[in-house]
Amino acid sequence: MAERVPVDDGFFMPAEWAPHDRCWMAWPCRGSLWGDGLAAAQAAYAAVARAISGFEPVTMLVNADAMEDAQALSGGAVGCSEMPLDDSWMRDSGPSFVIDGKGGLAGVDWRFNAWGGKFQPYDQDALTAERLLTQLALPCYAAPLVLEGGSIHVDGEGTLLTSEECLLNPNRNPDLTRSDIEELLRRYAGVERFVWLGEGLDKDDTDGHVDNIACFVRPGVVMAVTCDDPADRNHVIMKDNLARLAKARDAKGRALEVIELPLPREPRYLDGHRLALSYVNYYIANGGVVMPSFGDAHDAQAFEIVSKAFPERKVVQVEASAILVGGGGIHCITQQQPRP
């Protein structure tokens, strides 16, 4: 008998604005990634956790030897739970939770290969989703697809937003075609329609994760990153993505309304490598949005645009430059557990 998949049991991936029971995070620990920036990253993760805990419960997964530090920095409002980790990107190594709309909750365990084998080791992170679902006593659907949660975004009504640069990258699923990948996403995420953007941000270590360039803010509405500097390679990339969004239809047949969100004004570099700064890499919490600031001229404008897009939610900005050093943002380090 064929193994059951989420859609067989009526499960689908809800939108990120659906109510949550909890937010999951993981404590920064990979010394080779963070180097001298490890302490600053830990402080920034703790600040994000505290901000989210103002809206919903937060649990930080932590290596045994770092429990005391993590709890002290995160504060009393954030719970810490022991789990072996290689790294700290819960969006990508954690499970994608799915619901059935009838009170059922389960999780999808995507295959994890550290963004195309960019970091070693990653064997503990590859087990994070399965371990967490076991700990929560939830059904676990093991998907035969290498995928990170930051590479997809759903509207909860059957539409999935992603990028060709990431999902079609040969360092993930070299033997699968676009239609193979779409079929697996239909079966495991419960979606019907795909909106394929082209590339992600220039020099993004994730090979173009969609959570750095666009996301749904409600059904039929997408917030997308723009770049107004023709000399910046992101200008051409984002122009192409906006053109694709203009032509797209969602699973309900709607044309998409697009809210434009500018990139930070000043590019940021570390050891000559451009960092993938983006304001759209935010976490939608119960009654709130926790978004990044970078000490940039566009911080206030980005705050206004996001606040206007989420009128029912309180928007909080957290300085995220120290997180960017590791190659990601606030959305990358969080994973929502929906309320079934």
Residue 58: C-alpha distances to residues 26, 55, 100, 114, 231 (Å): 11, 9, 23, 24, 41
Known catalytic membership, residue 227: no
What is the distance between the alpha carbons of residues 326 and 34, in angstroms, rounded to a whole number? Answer: 6
Query: 205 Cβ partners below 8 Å, 6+ apart?
Result: 115, 118, 276, 327
What is the distance between the alpha carbons of residues 145 and 44, in angstroms, rounded to a whole number? Answer: 31
Q: What is the 3-state secondary structure (H, E, C) of 201-216?
A: CCCCCCCCCHHHCEEE
Which letter, b or e, does each residue of 24-38 get, where b requires 16 or more Cβ atoms within 10 Å of its Cβ? bbbbbbbeebbeebb
Q: Per this entry, what is the length of the chain?
A: 340
What is the distance between the alpha carbons of residues 245 and 256, in angstroms, rounded to a whole number? Answer: 7
What is the distance between the alpha carbons of residues 56 and 53, in angstroms, rounded to a whole number? Answer: 5
The DSSP 8-state label assigned to residue 26 in this structure reads E
Contact predicate 72/50, CB 8 Å: no
What is the distance between the alpha carbons of residues 178 and 168, in angstroms, rounded to a whole number? Answer: 7
Instruction: Please pick, among 23, 215, 227, 332, the residue that the annotation labels catalytic.
Output: 332
Residue 321: C-alpha distances to residues 45, 188, 268 (Å): 11, 34, 9
The amino acid at residue 70 is: A
Longest dimension (CA), the chain: 58
Rounded to 5 degrees, what are φ and ψ at 175? Answer: -95, 0
The catalytic site residues sit at 332
